[in-house]
């Protein structure tokens, strides 16, 4: 019974690690989009002035 519990905990841990990696990747993509958007905003601001 203890072995099953350890295996289940290991599976759950791996699943959470995978989810964390996916969330970190998504966050990095969103941060890049924000950065790119800020560059466009600055360029447009300088063009308008």
Domains of the chain by residue range: 1-48
Whole-angstrom CA distances from 39 to 4, 12, 18, 21, 23 are 53, 41, 32, 27, 24
pLDDT per position in the chain (49 positions), as tens? Answer: 567 788 899 999 999 999 999 999 999 999 999 999 999 999 998 887 6
Query: pTM value?
Result: 0.73
């Amino acid at each position: 019974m203890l072995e099953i519990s350890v295996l289940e905990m290991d599976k759950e841990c791996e699943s959470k690690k995978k989810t964390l990696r996916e969330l970190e990747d998504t966050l990095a993509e969103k941060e890049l989009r924000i950065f790119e958007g800020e560059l466009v905003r600055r360029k447009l601001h300088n063009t308008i002035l």
